[in-house]
Amino acid sequence: MTVTANKLIKSRREALGLTDVQVAEATGLSIHEYGDIERHADEIFTVTELRQVRKLATNVGIELFQLFDLNCAFCEQQQSSQQEYSLPRNELIRRQRTALGLTQDLLGDEIGFEVVAIQDMETREDFLEDWSFELIRNLAKILKTPV
């Protein structure tokens, strides 16, 4: 039986002897936002911003790969990551979009965002921190890159 992310978070919080209020405050979420994460299996994927997920995972001692049930794409292939994956995310996105022959308009259409969001994504290194995991996974799929 697979444990969902919300159940994993709750069990780790309880194992650490933390209250939901303590974790919410430490993560910068309201108790209602945090409660939704523990109650709804998809909340952490579809609504919660990556920056908040990172804080939450740190606060309850869970690795992001474990939380999102991801395998390391490079580990699976038993090879070192390509050099471009060490670039800042915004530069990697721009390079990959260009390599695939996508304009900013076309990428925006593919992911459902205006071109200004794509421009911002390609200039701000921390842009994806405001996105949910589901949006990031969709972007990675379109750009043919590991999450």
As a whole number of angstroms, the distance between CA 89 and CA 123 comes to: 10
| Mean pLDDT, range 21-49, rounded to an integer | 94
Spatial neighbors of 90 by CB under 8 A, at least 6 apart, are 121, 122, 123, 124, 125, 127
Spatial neighbors of 145 by CB under 8 A, at least 6 apart, are 85, 92, 96
For residue 101, give the DSSP letter: T
| Predicted local distance difference test score (pLDDT) of residue 53 | 93
2 confidence band (pLDDT: 50, 70, 90):
low
14 confidence band (pLDDT: 50, 70, 90):
very high
Nearest Cα to 37, choosing from 26, 48, 22?
48
| Predicted local distance difference test score (pLDDT) of residue 84 | 57
Question: Is the Cα dihedral 134, 138, 108, 118 positive or negative?
Answer: positive
In the structure encoding, which two tokens stand for residue 115, read together? 């071109």
Q: Mind listing the domains of the chain with CATH numbers?
A: 5-67 (1.10.260.40), 81-143 (1.10.260.40)
| Predicted local distance difference test score (pLDDT) of residue 79 | 45
State the amino acid at position 38 in one-letter form: E
